[in-house]
């Protein structure tokens, strides 16, 4: 029993002694150690920075989706990648409003849906003030709920506006400001192009958006969906839907696909001419892309770690031959092979860990740098804890792998020969 308890204790002591010795060695040869571990430093720094950027982007997208709502589903036309419609003009596969009539009855997992159109950019004017390049969108009332954009003044668009094709609109606060409208501008009229619309509501300021919202400068105006067809005869239609809960979003997508294939007369076996994406789905796509980026980065980092590892092996071999007499002495006073092996292996690992530490440090610097580049969506970049673990795991493995050969060489030295060295 005592022996059983003692064995790991002896090893533990050997371990901490070795770590202590190794740190001493690293400290004694500071410049050499840093130069040796340069490969590992660069590898770890770049991999942590890449992971940080990806995690930051993902976190950013997640917060975006939270503002949209995680059960949102986007439906849009898409050319299939096979079949006769492969090269069809986009116009021919556009959505028509009637494709979606009665969708709620056939799709039990879908809570609501709203059609919308992008009418284009218009010049909007009120009295002598006018603002160019305002994006005009036609929306159904349900879109308000799905996009969860609150109306801070007045009321949202209603079903009656829709049915009667009223010339009413909702504007955003930026436009309200730019047109020098009164604080309470409800009921006032503005000109969109050459058509008069009455303002019924003012939206809350739009949160920053990763998608489609890159153009923060231009304002938006929302009019009823059907009214938008009065502005232009033919319009692109897109649809936002909402599943009853995020958990059933996959079912909802399947139901919508099934329903649309019928309303769009797609024969069995033919590919879809539309796509149905849920937020969850988008995240999966992002993760897929992130994985590819990560693998490419991983490959590059792998090479730099390999180069770093060869450097480590080289320096450890130098260390072994420099300290041949020391090894001989240690053996002469009773160090077993395993003790010498452990010492040199740990030295290699410690060297690599030092490289890893510097690497994570530089990675953090890089991350801070990336996060402060303006106008790219990486300001939430951070190094997740698992990435630090990964960095140390990798550099440790490199140490063990490339330190093994020199350590074995040291352990195999004959004490008498070693003491006679030089």
Q: Which residues bind another protein (CB under 8 A)?
A: 6, 10, 13-14, 17, 24, 28, 325-326, 328-339, 415-416, 419
Query: d(Cα 415, Cα 413) in Å, to the nearest integer?
Result: 6
Nearer to another protein, 10 or 210 (CB): 10
Length of the chain: 422
**Secondary structure E strands in 225-265:** 237-243
Q: How far is the CB of 409 from another protein (least distance, A)?
A: 16
CB 204 within 8 A of CB 148: no
Q: How far is the CB of 329 from another protein (least distance, A)?
A: 5
Q: How far is the CB of 393 from another protein (least distance, A)?
A: 28
- Taking alpha carbons only, the member of 253, 311, 312 closest to residue 278 is 253
Radius of gyration in angstroms for the set of CA atoms belonging to the chain, rounded to a whole number: 33
Cβ contacts of residue 388 below 8 Å, gap of 6+?
48, 360
Q: How far is the CB of 331 from another protein (least distance, A)?
A: 7
Nearer to another protein, 123 or 338 (CB): 338
Helix or strand holding residue 112 (H, E): strand 110-126
Nearer to another protein, 14 or 371 (CB): 14
Nearer to another protein, 25 or 395 (CB): 25
Query: d(Cα 348, Cα 296) in Å, to the nearest integer?
Result: 27
Q: How far is the CB of 4 from another protein (least distance, A)?
A: 13
* Helix ranges restricted to H, 89-235: 103-106, 142-147, 159-163, 173-178, 225-231
Nearer to another protein, 1 or 385 (CB): 1
Cβ contacts of residue 172 below 8 Å, gap of 6+?
202, 203, 205, 206, 219, 220, 221
Query: d(Cα 331, Cα 148) in Å, to the nearest integer?
Result: 74
Nearer to another protein, 12 or 163 (CB): 12
Q: How far is the CB of 335 from another protein (least distance, A)?
A: 5
Nearer to another protein, 308 or 328 (CB): 328
Q: How far is the CB of 31 from another protein (least distance, A)?
A: 16
């Amino acid at each position: 029993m005592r022996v059983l308890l003692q064995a790991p204790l002896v090893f533990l002591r050997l371990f901490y002694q070795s770590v202590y010795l190794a740190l001493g060695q690293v400290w004694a040869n500071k410049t050499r150690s840093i130069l040796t571990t340069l490969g590992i430093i660069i590898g770890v720094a770049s991999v942590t920075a890449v992971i940080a950027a990806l995690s930051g982007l993902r976190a950013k997208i997640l917060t975006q989706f939270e503002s949209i709502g995680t059960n949102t589903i986007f439906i849009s036309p898409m050319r299939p990648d096979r079949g006769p419609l492969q090269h069809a003009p986009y116009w021919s596969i556009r959505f028509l409003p009637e494709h979606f009539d009665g969708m709620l009855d056939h799709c039990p997992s879908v809570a609501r849906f709203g059609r919308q159109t992008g009418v284009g950019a218009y010049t909007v004017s009120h009295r002598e003030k006018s603002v160019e390049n305002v994006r005009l969108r036609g929306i159904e009332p349900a879109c308000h709920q799905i996009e969860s954009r609150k109306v801070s003044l007045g009321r949202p668009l209603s079903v009656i506006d829709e049915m009667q094709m009223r010339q009413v609109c909702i504007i955003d606060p930026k436009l309200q400001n730019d047109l020098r409208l009164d604080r309470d501008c409800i009921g006032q009229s503005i000109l969109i192009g050459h058509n008069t619309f009455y303002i019924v509501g003012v939206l809350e300021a739009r949160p920053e958006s990763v998608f489609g919202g890159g153009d923060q400068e231009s304002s938006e105006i929302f009019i009823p969906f059907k009214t938008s067809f009065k502005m232009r005869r033919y319009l692109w239609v897109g649809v936002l839907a909402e599943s009853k809960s995020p958990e059933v979003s996959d079912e909802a997508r399947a139901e919508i696909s099934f329903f649309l294939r019928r309303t769009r007369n797609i024969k069995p076996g033919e590919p879809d001419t539309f796509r149905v994406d849920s937020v969850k789905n988008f995240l999966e796509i992002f993760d897929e892309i992130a994985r590819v980026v990560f693998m490419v980065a991983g490959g590059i980092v792998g090479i730099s770690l390999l180069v770093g590892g060869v450097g480590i092996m080289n320096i450890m071999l130098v260390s072994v031959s420099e300290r041949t007499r020391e090894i001989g002495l240690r053996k002469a006073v009773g160090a077993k092979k395993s003790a010498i092996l452990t010492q040199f292996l740990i030295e290699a690992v410690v060297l690599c860990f030092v490289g890893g530490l510097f690497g994570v440090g530089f990675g953090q610097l890089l991350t801070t740098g990336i996060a402060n580049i303006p106008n790219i969506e990486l300001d939430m970049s951070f190094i997740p804890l698992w990435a630090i673990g990964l960095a140390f795991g990798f550099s440790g493995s490199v140490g063990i792998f490339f330190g093994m050969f020199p350590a074995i060489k040291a352990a195999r030295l004959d004490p008498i020969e070693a003491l006679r060295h030089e």
